[in-house]
Amino acid sequence: MRAAVSWRDYELIDTSDGNRLERWGEKILIRPDPQIIWNTDKVNSHWDNVDARYYRSSSGGGSWKYFHGEISRQNIHWKDLTFKVEPTGFKHMGLFPEQAANWEFFINKIEETKRPISVINLFAYTGGATLACAKAGASVCHVDASKGMVSWARENAKLSSLEKAPIRWIVDDCEKFVAREIRRGRKYDAIILDPPSYGRGPNGEVWKIENKIYGLLTMLKQLLSEKPLFFALNSYTSGLSPETMKYLVGVTIADSFDNLSCDEVGLKVSQTDFELPCGNTALAWN
């Protein structure tokens, strides 16, 4: 497993009874995590003095309970990047801290290559990978179907002093945008995608990963430049094991690269010093 490091304002303090105990900036939060199937002794005093907790509803979804007033936005830092975080209606904070393990990989590959690199980031959310690549010197095409998420990503770019970086901000259905880029003859040296298990595009297009991912990967091969640098597929979908993802990338993209691997990304738990797995990433690179 590759655990994310270098966070200044985020900490996974403890895990127990289906929940994470986390520090986001100055706030201590409890959020559910279905893979935490253990129930340890909660010896950390933070469990009893949290600022907010997310409760799942038996009918689906859930809501936040605030104990010291509602939580407004905060800025948290990873290396030289700054991100806005705040509670959302789906338990998320607008950032997945474990993805910093992948950002490290992207930055190192871009900085090592010593040539101009173009990146397309699909299902790009609030722009963590986009900003990491831009900070390393790449030009980036950031694509997400949610106008709100792209606006959030642009805020993060400004907070990180990257508002003038060569980033194209695209609000569009990722499949349709990729098809247009292929027709335009565009090529990219690196491709990053973090597709949801299920979602909808800006015009109601339905995305279900089991039905869509193979076709999208076969399309993406056509976007690779003659000397591609890397390809990354990230997933939180329980049915896509690391070996399944490795096989999927292997039969679609991997023949353009010298190396292929798939592993878990995660976070170190301060209380136990164990690492919590938080998702899988298949990487191919030259």
CATH code at position 280: 3.40.50.150
- Structure tokens belonging to residue 281: 């990433």
- Structure tokens belonging to residue 259: 């190396």
> 171 with 279, same domain?
yes
pTM confidence score: 0.94
For residues 236 and 142, the model is more confident at 142
Residue 239 has pLDDT above 80, yes or no: no
Q: In this predicted model, what pLDDT tens digit does every residue of 164-217 receive, in sequence order?
A: 999 999 999 999 999 999 999 999 999 999 998 776 666 776 667 877 899 999
- Structure tokens belonging to residue 37: 């199937």
118, 225 in Cβ contact below 8 A?
Answer: yes
85 within domain boundaries: no
Output phi, psi for 199, to 5 deg: -170, 180
187 within domain boundaries: yes
pLDDT at site 156: 98
What's the pLDDT band for 90 if we cut at 50, 70, 90?
confident
Mean pLDDT computed over every residue of the chain: 94
User: What is the C-alpha R_g of the chain?
Assistant: 19
Provide mean pLDDT across the span 68-76. 94
User: Which residues form the domain of 247?
Assistant: 97-285
Return d(Cα 33, Cα 15) in angstroms, integer.
Answer: 9
pLDDT at site 202: 67
Select from 37, 71, 105 the last residue of a domain: 71
Return d(Cα 52, Cα 66) in angstroms, integer.
Answer: 4
> 46 with 125, same domain?
no
Return d(Cα 275, Cα 137) in angstroms, integer.
Answer: 31
**Which residues lie closer than 8 Å to 98 by C-beta, 6 or more apart?**
3, 4, 265, 266, 267, 278, 279
> 273 with 187, same domain?
yes
Return d(Cα 246, Cα 248) in angstroms, integer.
Answer: 5
Q: Tell me the residue ranges of DSSP E strands in 47-94.
A: 52-56, 62-66, 74-78, 81-85
Provide the domain count of the chain. Answer: 2
Return d(Cα 274, Cα 268) in angstroms, integer.
Answer: 6
